[in-house]
Chains A and B, each alone.
Chain A
Amino acid sequence: MIAARATRWTWLAYGYAALVACALGYGLLGMPVQVSDSLNNILQASQDSPLHLVYNEFYQRGYLRPFLWGLIRLVFDLSQGHYFEWFRGWHVGQVAVLAGLFVALLRVRRAADAAVVPLGLAALVGIHTFSGTIREAFPINTFMTILLCCYASAWLALGTPRWWRDVAAALLLVFSALTVESGLLIAVIFVAAWLAGARGISRAGVVAQVALVAGYFVLRFVVLGVGAPGLDERASGFGFGVLDRNQLTARFGANPLPFYAYNIAASLSSLFFSEPSGGTFQITQRVLAGQASTLNLVSVGVSALGTALILGYVWSRRAEWRARRFTADDQLVAIFFAVAAANAAICYAYTKDVILSPAGAFYALALAVAARHYIARASQTAVRTAAAGVVLVLLSSGWGFRAVAAQIDLRHAAEATRVEWAYVDRWLGDQGVAPTTDQGRAIVTHLQEDAIWNHPVRPRLAGDWLEMFEP
């Protein structure tokens, strides 16, 4: 349970989280509202009344995401025409809250707790599954919304038992599951935490979670007949390449189980080793071709090292776990493994880095917990301290390197987005979604003004050093 009072180390950790949020926020504010995946959503969300918009989304085919649209409409209405400030500000606010929840979940009380916060936050930002939560927006990044719900769920589950936590947990599940499908992971977090001895949510609350998930499936498949995306919905990474929809159907149409098994295994491997990415073994291919970048090697290296540290933590705690004696740190790590398994299972039909972002966010927490214990264990003898020092410096530098890569990637994405805005008329025509109303045309003009003239592109980074960060 999270009980002890905050200390100066707690506030120092929150202060550091605020700095990380500022650094990332600076990058996020360099990005305009996007064209692809955002402009059309804004135009669509602006057309109907909010209630109709949400209601109609219950009757889409393949996807059930009504609250995603409700949230877009809410921020759209709140913005009163200040689209850039509100949509981009919303994204920055989400990152700030996420960083704060990270520190809250780590329960920083002592210097040793605070020491692992920079490493953990670097892993949170640097892990490849996080990239899709910052470099894209729709125009509200749904996956970031789910990350916040996931961390908030863990905070509810690991806290002191209170009746209102049950209510909040149920509301959180309903909101997240009807925002995007991976929101169902909220239930996994509550159940896993409960099984690991956390009692922030009561038994009745956990039963309610299971009932809500069952209700979700009944609503989706029986009542609304929304169904699920089919095998031929989109291209998918496989081995060293990408199979298009026709190839997928030809190869796995008769028996998709091997493909599903591949996606689950690939998702787990991606989470633990940063390879493959989106189902494709790109880094392996580059290594074999002698073309791997520094970032490629660092990514796999620090992921493997971090995974080893987490597994080492589990090994050191095995006797306690067998006896079902869990500390709050154990509970966080247990949640990570549960979310990893469930998140990989959700990717059975289509694996993509950003879908794994909830598991990636808990990976960062598990890594911080494992590092904290590693410091305590390794400081017993001088030799072990020396070896541990090397491991920790490698981890901290490597994840820091990946965090910088995320910032650079964000900057490149911002530039690419402005190119899209320069050619927006052609894009609207090609997509057949050119607005037909004055209001729609005004929104396009306003957003283009924002992207090109009101918030111009930042100077392009230059230098040979950028080669190290090539993805």
Chain B
Amino acid sequence: MSGTRATVLGVMAAAPATFVTLAVLLFAARELSGTTPLSNGPPRNVAEAAGGGEVSEVLRFLRDGQDPREIWLLRPEIISSTVTRATGLEAAIWSGQPLVELLDRRGFIADSATRHHLACLAKDIGSGEVAAYLSPGVDPPCATGAAFAILKERSQTVASPAR
């Protein structure tokens, strides 16, 4: 009888930890097979990568030829349900100054209108660090909320062009 009880206790000691190991292996196997369990999947374009702060993926998309100045479709879970059409540059504002600076150094923020729009967007979403980087030494003159409103409106317009 005590042997049976010992067996039961042995199973109780082993089962939960074994289950965890097998679950991790199953997860790994599924991921290796190309599915993405417990995840929203990899970013689909440079804007999604920028919005999600996945800098290494931004670099990969750039090398693949994607242009962060173009408007891209974003899934609602990347930034928010109100921002679903944005350029890679706009999306990068949500990730912070280092990524914006990286894109700037690569020459993607070439004209002052884009720089101004991005600075105002940064102010609208409360990213003072990015705004200060894009408009060093001066508080950019912006109509409060206007830059973000452009994004929201674009996202709500189904017919607006996006890749």
Contact = CB atoms under 8 A, between A and B. Distances in A.
Contacts of B28: 22-23, 26
A194 B21 CA distance: 35
Nearest to B35: A459
A451 B59 CA distance: 11
A392 B58 CA distance: 47
A399 B20 CA distance: 10
A118 B18 contact: yes
Interface string A398-425: 0111011001000000010011011100
What range describes how many residues of A lie at the interface?
35 or more
A26 to B, nearest CB: 4
Contact of B15 (A112, A396, A422): A396
B8 interface: yes
Contacts of A227: none
B125 to A, nearest CB: 21
Interface in B1-41: 2-3, 5-25, 28, 31, 36, 38-41
Contacts of A371: 13
Contacts of A380: 2, 5
Nearest to B64: A453
Contact of A396 (B13, B53, B56): B13
Contacts of A20: 21
Interface stretch (A139-147, A200-208, A339-347, A381-389): A381-389
B57 A385 contact: no
B151 interface: no
A36 to B, nearest CB: 15
Q: Would you call the interface of chain B mostly helix, strand, loop, or mixed?
A: helix
Interface in A22-74: 22-23, 26
Contact of B25 (A23, A112, A379, A397): A23
Interface SS majority for chain A = helix
Given A22-B25, A375-B6, A460-B54, A392 B17 contact: no
Contact of B9 (A121, A385, A456): A385
B9 A460 contact: no
B54 A458 contact: no
Contacts of B140: none
A372 to B, nearest CB: 9
Among A385, A397, A460, A462, the most chain B Cβ lie within 10 Å of the Cβ of A460
Contacts of A117: 14
Contacts of B55: 418-419, 422-423
Nearest to A422: B55
B74 to A, nearest CB: 15
Interface string B84-95: 000000000000
A378 B10 CA distance: 11
Given A119-B14, A403-B20, A461 B38 contact: yes
Contacts of A168: none
Contacts of B16: 393, 396-397, 400
A451 B38 CA distance: 23
Contacts of B24: 23, 26, 403-404, 407
Contacts of A396: 12-17
A257 interface: no
A116 B38 contact: no
A32 B71 CA distance: 32
Contacts of A453: 59-60, 63
**Residue in A392, A451, A458 whose Cβ sees the most chain B Cβ within 10 Å:** A392
Given A118-B14, A385-B5, A422 B21 contact: no
B62 to A, nearest CB: 11
A402 B38 CA distance: 18
B12 to A, nearest CB: 5
B150 interface: no
B20 A459 contact: no
B21 A23 contact: yes
A25 B93 CA distance: 36
Given A118-B14, A459-B39, A462-B77, 8 more contacts: A16-B18, A115-B9, A118-B18, A389-B8, A393-B12, A419-B53, A423-B102, A462-B38
6 contacts: A26-B24, A122-B17, A122-B20, A371-B13, A423-B98, A459-B40
Interface of B: 2-3, 5-25, 28, 31, 36, 38-42, 52-60, 63, 77, 98, 102
